[in-house]
């Protein structure tokens, strides 16, 4: 195996270390390399171990690594409320989302308040429209900029 292949595997292993957050004390430790293995075999073994570690770390959040607190909260709260057409819950959840508007997302709060008003009026299509509007405007940007932004402990339920 040539140096370019070893470098490629090493880069992949490094990327997996970063993704898996191997610096976490709670994560499983990687095994020491076998002194009888060639350098290429060690890299392959390390890549396999890191891939397994990454897969186990992804199970800690519905969206993967790093964890996505807002996504997890929405999936646990607004998703089921929307499917059940639980307008009372939706009104409260959308009002809460209005308070979580990040700086630089100017329409977030007003869209969430519009959704809460639609839920109060029991207008499912209008509530969905507010959600869709926010997702169209902000989902991708939020994932790029603030994906791991924690929710304060008092905000979760």
Each residue's pLDDT tens digit, 79-136: 999 999 999 999 999 999 999 999 999 999 999 999 999 999 999 999 999 999 999 9
My answer on whether 8 and 41 are in the same domain is yes
Domain membership of residue 103 (yes or no) is yes
My answer on whether 75 and 23 are in the same domain is no
Domain membership of residue 100 (yes or no) is yes
Is the pLDDT reported for residue 32 higher than 60?
A: no
CA 42, CA 30: separation in Å to the nearest integer?
A: 12
Domain membership of residue 63 (yes or no) is no
Full residue range of the structural domain in which residue 135 is found: 69-155
My answer on whether 50 and 92 are in the same domain is no
pLDDT over 90, % of the chain:
52
Q: What is the pTM of this model?
A: 0.59
- How many independent structural domains does the chain possess? 2
My answer on whether 32 and 109 are in the same domain is no
Question: Cβ contacts of residue 73 below 8 Å, gap of 6+?
Answer: 151, 155, 156
Each residue's pLDDT tens digit, 82-96: 999 999 999 999 999
Nearest CA to 131 out of 84, 91, 88 is that of 91
My answer on whether 75 and 147 are in the same domain is yes
HEC profile for the chain? CCHHHHHHHHHHHHHHHHHHCCCCCCCCCCCCCCCCCCHHHHHHHHHHHHHHHHHHHHCCCCCCCCCCHHHHHHHHCHHHHHHHCCHHHHHHHHHHHHHCCCCCCCCHHHHHHHHHHHHHCCCHHHHHHHHHHHHHHHHHHHHHHHCCCCCCHHHCC
| 85, 124 Cβ separation under 8 angstroms | yes
Is the pLDDT reported for residue 33 higher than 60?
A: no
Is the pLDDT reported for residue 11 higher than 60?
A: no
């Amino acid at each position: 195996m040539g140096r370019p292949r070893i470098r490629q595997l090493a880069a992949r292993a490094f990327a997996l270390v970063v993704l898996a957050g191997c610096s976490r004390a709670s994560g499983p430790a990687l095994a020491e390399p076998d002194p009888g293995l060639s350098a290429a075999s060690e890299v392959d073994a390390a890549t396999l171990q890191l891939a397994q570690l990454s897969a186990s770390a992804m199970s800690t959040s519905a969206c993967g690594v790093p964890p996505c607190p807002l996504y997890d909260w929405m999936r646990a709260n607004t998703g089921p409320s929307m499917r059940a057409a639980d307008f009372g819950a939706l009104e409260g959840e959308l009002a809460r989302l209005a308070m979580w508007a990040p700086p630089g997302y100017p329409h977030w709060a007003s869209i969430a308040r519009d959704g809460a008003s639609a839920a109060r009026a029991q207008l499912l299509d209008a509530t969905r429209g507010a959600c869709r509007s926010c997702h169209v405007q902000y989902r991708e940007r939020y994932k790029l900029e603030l994906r791991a932004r924690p929710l304060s402990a008092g905000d979760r339920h």
